[in-house]
Amino acid sequence: MSRMHITLTVNGEERELLAEPRELLIHVLREKLGLTGPHIGCDTSHCGACTVEMNGRSVKACTVFAAQADGAEITTIEGLGSPDGLHVLQQAFREHHGLQCGFCTPGMITRAHRLLQENPDPTEEEVRFGMAGNLCRCTGYQNIVKAILAAAEEMNTVKEAAE
């Protein structure tokens, strides 16, 4: 099958690659760019394990062709925080025990990150609604919700202090 030349900015770095027109973004990220943080948990766009940010929106990378992402800015879990510094959300997930097996976690955190950009001060209901595209089989969500609310509060405090 013929291949397309694609350019992506992933976690701030420009990457070029060849992909078949039918190739999914999740496979390109995981197998061609070695970013195995986003996972695959279903075939029907339900689980959200593959969630990444594309041009400032949450997308399920299993539901985007790599070709559609040509020229896009993409952030994956690997682009949040750094090995020596956890992002506030990463820290909050740890602090509030918002993960167990960790398989949903990269998608969860990436989605939560976008949610808090869209709505920096959400209610519990808004968090539950805004996270409903990401499934977790281990935690029962209670601590995930707690972690996101705590992270929101912390991020707001930091912002206020800076103002």
Partner 1 sequence: MNDMTPPTREERVEKLKGLGCSRKRVEDVRFTHGKGNYVDDIKLPGMLHGDFVRSPYAHARVKSIDASAALALKGVVAVLTAKDLEPLNLHWMPTLAGDKQMVLADGKVLFQGQEVAFVLAEDRYIAADAAELVEVEYEELPVVTDPFKALEPDAVELREDLHGQDSGVHGKRRHHNHIFLWEAGHKEATEQAISSAEVVAEEMVYYHRTHPCPLETCGSVASMDKVNGKLTVYGTFQAPHVVRTVASLLSGIEEHNIRVVSPDIGGGFGNKVGVYPGYVCSIVASIVTGRPVKWVEDRMENLMATAFARDYWMKGRISATKDGRITGLSCHVTADHGAFDACADPTKFPAGFFHIMTGSYDIPVAHVGVDGVYTNKAPGGVAYRCSFRVTEAAYFIERMIEVLAIELGMDAAELRAKNFIRKEQFPYHSALGWEYDSGDYHTAWEKALKAVDYEGLRREQAERVEAFRRGETRKLLGIGLTHFTEIVGAGPVKNCDILGMGMFDSCEIRIHPTGSAIARLGTISQGQGHATTFAQILASEIGLSADSITIEEGDTDTAPYGLGTYGSRSTPVAGAATAMAGRKIRAKAQMIAAYLLEVHDGDLEWDVDRFVVKGAPERFKTMKEIAYAAYNQAIPGVEPGLEAVSYYDPPNMTYPFGAYVCVMEIDVDTGTHEIRQFYALDDCGTRINPMIIEGQVHGGLTEALAIAMGQEIAYDEIGNVKTGTLMDFFLPTAWETPNYTTDFTETPSPHHPIGAKGVGESPNVGGVPAFSNAVHDAFRAFGLRQVHMPHDQWRIWKTAHDLGLHG
Q: Is 100 in the site for ligand FES (CB under 6 A)?
A: yes
**What is the x/- site pattern for partner 1, positions 19-58, by CB under 8 A?**
-x-xx---x--xx---xxxxxxxxxx-xx-x---------
**Helix pair 105-118, 142-162: axis angle to 10 deg:** 40
With CB cut-offs between 5 and 8 Å by kind, which of ligand FES, partner 1, none does residue 131 bind? partner 1
Residue 18 or 101 having the CB closest to ligand FES: 101
**What does the CA dihedral 27, 21, 68, 42 come to, rounded to 10 degrees?**
-40
Element (H, E) at 162: helix 142-162
Q: Is 111 in the site for partner 1 (CB under 8 A)?
A: no
Q: How many residues bind ligand FES (CB under 6 A)?
A: 22
Q: Is 129 in the site for partner 1 (CB under 8 A)?
A: yes
Element (H, E) at 128: helix 124-130
- Contacts of the segment 86-90: beta carbons below 8 A, 24+ positions apart: 87/113, 88/151, 88/154, 88/155, 88/158, 89/113, 89/116, 89/147, 89/148, 89/151
| Cβ–Cβ under 8 Å, residues 111 and 75 | no
Q: Is 67 in the site for partner 1 (CB under 8 A)?
A: no
Residue 139 and residue 77: Cα distance in Å, rounded?
A: 19
Residue 49 or 72 having the CB closest to partner 1: 49
Closest CA to 29 of 11, 41, 44: 11
Among 141, 149, 152, 155, binds partner 1 (CB under 8 A): 141
Q: Is 62 in the site for ligand FES (CB under 6 A)?
A: yes
- Give the interface with partner 1 as residue ranges (CB under 8 A): 20, 22-23, 27, 30-31, 35-44, 46-47, 49, 76-78, 81, 83, 86, 89-90, 93-95, 97, 99-106, 109, 127-129, 131-145
Applying CB under 6 A, which residues contact ligand FES?
Answer: 40-42, 45-50, 60, 62, 99-105, 136-139
